[in-house]
Structure 1
Amino acid sequence: MFENVKAIPGDALLALMMEFKKDPTPAKIDLGVGVYKDDAGLTPILPAVKKAEALILENEQSKGYIGPAGAPELAPLLQSLMLGDQHNLIREKRIATTQTPGGTGALRVAGDLINALNPNAKIWVSDPTWSNHFHVFAGAGIEVRTYPYYDAQQNALAFENMLAAIHEIPSGDVILLHASCHNPTGIDPTLEQWQQISDLVAERALLPLIDCAYQGFGDGLEEDVQGLKLILEKSPEALITTSCSKNFGLYNERIGALSVVAAEPEHCNNVFSQACNCIRANYSNPPAHGAAIVTTILSDQALRQQWETELSEMRTRIHRMRTELVKNLSALSDERDFSFIAAQKGMFSYSGLSRDEVKYLKDKYAIYAVDSGRINIAGINDGNLGRLSQAIAEAIDR
């Protein structure tokens, strides 16, 4: 069976990460890997998480299975975090949430569920989008197509082209939307644009699949789900994938969730049972520890307040790095206007750097970024900001 199997190319971003690790340059800078880093260049464990883990260690009684849907106490906490305690969907029992292994696991379960319910449906994702969206949905047997999103000339949202394309998507297909902090561009629709998107998605009878991976990293916990709430106001059915990797810093604990929204409680229960069946056929049960951490934090008032403060500090640091980078580049070169970077949200930025400029930064300065020019703003800190700014100015002034 294995004799004639051919190797396939590895993920380009993972290959870039390995190349960075092997680079002996002392002052190398990693702007590729998509994780939060503090000013020391580390991906920290939040103090609130450490406190929660101490409580779990003291009180944990079992390592038994937690069931395909995950920890039952986690679901209402994540729903409340997204929508608020008194949201109609929660009160009317039209939303049900299952724990998953990270946001990626949630997307895969969503793909399996869509394939089980309507194998003819296609998923439409933004161009560009997180590259793994294609792999995940293809693995679930779903055809993936794209709609316009990024205007490279203006470094902005290609909004009119986006609306025109959505208008042509066949009814019954699935449209994936990023709730906030769009990966990879960092460009989000305004509230007014979200209103138009929500109207059109409902008019076309599309199933919205909302990828909510960065809540709290853009403008705030409530602000980052305003577009999501507008979609849910207009569309009676939806799927929502959430991740706790970024806002809780729980990357290797793999804790996320898939939420099903339906027009009637009975419909919601039926679809939720199908989602659990997909899980049972895949990984059977999700891991417990990450869920216990999130549950402990969100159910303890003092810990939740501490976590929200720490999340705000991460968000503020990223915004400050955006602002400082733009200021430095403006002072160093008048070749290009980089002010749009300061207006983007979350960790990522489509910087406008060309493939050739990205290569120059890596070859001469050991500054690693994705070929598309997407950079992780969280990889910038006070120690490397000056060197990075000088290198970018040199790359574009050549």
Structure 2
Amino acid sequence: MFANLPLPQPDEIVPLMIQASEDHRAEKVDLTVGVYRDDSGHTPIMRAVREAEKYLAVNRTTKSYVGPLGDPIFVGLIQEFAFQKKIKSKFIRGIQTPGGSSALSLILNLIKKAQPHMTIWVSDPTYANHGPTIKSIGLKLKEYPFLNRETNKLKTDSLMSALDSLGPKDAVLLHGSCHNPTGLSLYEADWRKIADIAQKRGFFPIIDTAYQGLGSGIKEDAKGLIIMAEKVNHLAVSFSCSKNFGLYNDRVGCAFLMGTNEQEINIAQTQLAALARPCHWVAPQNGSEIVRHIMLTPQLKIMWLEELSAMKKRIAGLRQKLALVLQNETQTKKYDFIAKNSGLFSILPGTPRQMEILRKDYAVYGLDDGRINIAGLSKNKISYLAKSIATVI
């Protein structure tokens, strides 16, 4: 039956996760998978989530299916959160999905159905799952310039020039905030330029929002999306609750479509639900019920916002400390970009061979392209990590 199947392209992260878990050296620093960890190396359940789970365990009355669009109250709450209630003049419709990856996959499948010859443009580099998802759906994939690997800064001019060459047969995938894997941020002026170009050239923006609240703040991290939504006539958003609610394995997300024609967007929303049917039919509800209860319970919402803010500040503090220790270790400002980046990730200027040496000889686990998860770092490992990086890279 399956004898002629070739092996799929290997996923780099999963084997490294396994390799790191089997490495019992005391000095080990595992910065592979993109999850938030506390100083003990544990990925905690947020306090507000724990309280919501306790409430739902007693008061939940059913485990029945929801409709194909998901829980409309949950979807509405996430829409308000993602767009910060700012977009009033256009029509926005969404459906609940099993995580942000599923949201993006459904959006891309909808594009394939509506515009099968469209090209999807992603940043160089981008999140490891973007390319395989686009290719599996059968859409053309191209890259636009983003990271200058020599300076670890944004290739602003090249980026804008590339986007200015696109048109209505192109879709551009942008990271809403906390770019994965670089940690680079688009400034408000950058977003305004991109929005102007999108309006002029007519390409279709897709905003992948996976880290809202963990960069500069909830409102600040939404600015790019809001600027785009106010300027262009159409866009799509994939939204994940994995990081900012810590609901990684509950798979909680939404896919949103925005347009100026209500009938068109209503049909597109129904098509999204139809595309979901042969895959997962209806989205799982446990995680969305937790989010909904937190958002609708004032004391839990305050608790969640305080914890989210503390997580954001801790990540920023780790960045500042690591950059400072690296400055002392190398007697250069080569790594100051780490403090300027935001969100979970940064890319070290190391070769695949150097990253392999870090893993083999120093028990420091990052990806071959240099990506490390700052949010997985413990304070007591910063000095050792800095010495290892300075020695090898």
Give your verdict on TM over 0.5.
Answer: yes
Q: Which amino acid aligns with 2:295?
A: L
Unaligned 5+ residue runs, structure 1? none
Aligned to 2:119: 122
Deviation of 1:145 (Å): 1.1
* Separation in structure 1 between the aligned mates of residue 317 and residue 86 of structure 2, nearest angstrom: 34
Structure 2 counterpart of 1:267, from 246, 252, 264: 264
3-state SS of paired residue (2:72): coil
Aligned to 1:83: 83
Aligned to 1:284: 281
Deviation of 1:229 (Å): 0.7
Aligned to 2:25: 25
* Separation in structure 2 between the aligned mates of residue 84 and residue 4 of structure 1, nearest angstrom: 50
Deviation of 1:7 (Å): 2.2
* Separation in structure 2 between the aligned mates of residue 125 and residue 99 of structure 1, nearest angstrom: 24
1:133-192 deviation per Cα after TM superposition (whole angstroms, max 9, x unaligned) = 011122222111111111112210001101111112232321101010000000011111
Structure 2 counterpart of 1:190, from 187, 192, 213: 187
Deviation of 1:353 (Å): 2.6
> In the alignment, is the contact (CA less than 8 A) between 2:236 and 2:255 conserved in 1?
yes
Aligned to 1:234: 231
* Separation in structure 1 between the aligned mates of residue 317 and residue 298 of structure 2, nearest angstrom: 29
* Separation in structure 2 between the aligned mates of residue 340 and residue 256 of structure 1, nearest angstrom: 31
Deviation of 1:335 (Å): 5.1
Deviation of 1:6 (Å): 2.7
3-state SS of paired residue (1:258): strand
Structure 2 counterpart of 1:358, from 343, 355, 358: 355
Deviation of 1:301 (Å): 1.1
> In the alignment, is the contact (CA less than 8 A) between 2:87 and 2:230 conserved in 1?
no
1:342-377 deviation per Cα after TM superposition (whole angstroms, max 9, x unaligned) = 000100001223323322211211110011111100
Deviation of 1:86 (Å): 5.3
TM-score, normalization: structure 1? 0.96
Q: Which amino acid aligns with 1:47?
A: R
* Separation in structure 1 between the aligned mates of residue 298 and residue 85 of structure 2, nearest angstrom: 15
* Separation in structure 2 between the aligned mates of residue 207 and residue 28 of structure 1, nearest angstrom: 43
With over 3 angstroms needed to count, the CA separation of the structure-2 counterparts of 1:3 and 1:354, relative to structure 1, is closer
Q: Which amino acid aligns with 1:255?
A: V
Aligned to 1:251: 248
User: What does 1:255-334 correspond to in 2, within 5 Å?
Assistant: 255-334=252-331
> In the alignment, is the contact (CA less than 8 A) between 2:119 and 2:140 conserved in 1?
yes
Confirm whether residue 2 of structure 1 aligns to residue 32 of structure 2. no
1:286-338 deviation per Cα after TM superposition (whole angstroms, max 9, x unaligned) = 10101101101111111111101000011111000000001111112225521
* Separation in structure 2 between the aligned mates of residue 6 and residue 86 of structure 1, nearest angstrom: 48
Which one is further off, 259-268 or 305-314? Answer: 259-268
Aligned to 2:392: 395
Deviation of 1:202 (Å): 1.3
Aligned to 2:12: 12
3-state SS of paired residue (2:172): strand
Q: Which amino acid aligns with 2:28?
A: K
Deviation of 1:85 (Å): 3.4
> In the alignment, is the contact (CA less than 8 A) between 2:117 and 2:169 conserved in 1?
no
Structure 1 counterpart of 2:105, from 100, 103, 108: 108
1:57-102 deviation per Cα after TM superposition (whole angstroms, max 9, x unaligned) = 111111111121111111110111112235315xx5x001111000
> In the alignment, is the contact (CA less than 8 A) between 2:184 and 2:342 conserved in 1?
yes
Which one is further off, 239-248 or 345-354? Answer: 345-354
Aligned to 1:384: 381
Aligned to 1:349: 346
**Number of aligned positions between the proteins:** 393
Aligned to 1:56: 56
Moved over 4 A (4+): none
* Separation in structure 1 between the aligned mates of residue 167 and residue 83 of structure 2, nearest angstrom: 29
Deviation of 1:10 (Å): 2.3
* Separation in structure 1 between the aligned mates of residue 291 and residue 57 of structure 2, nearest angstrom: 14
1:96-137 deviation per Cα after TM superposition (whole angstroms, max 9, x unaligned) = 111100000101111111111111111111110001101112
Aligned to 2:128: 131
Task: State, as a whole percentage, how many aligned pairs show the same letter.
Answer: 36
Q: Which amino acid aligns with 1:3?
A: A
Aligned to 1:207: 204
* Separation in structure 2 between the aligned mates of residue 119 and residue 237 of structure 1, nearest angstrom: 17
Which one is further off, 244-253 or 262-271? Answer: 262-271
Q: Which amino acid aligns with 2:258?
A: V
* Separation in structure 2 between the aligned mates of residue 234 and residue 51 of structure 1, nearest angstrom: 40
1:204-248 deviation per Cα after TM superposition (whole angstroms, max 9, x unaligned) = 101110001110010000000101111111111110010000000
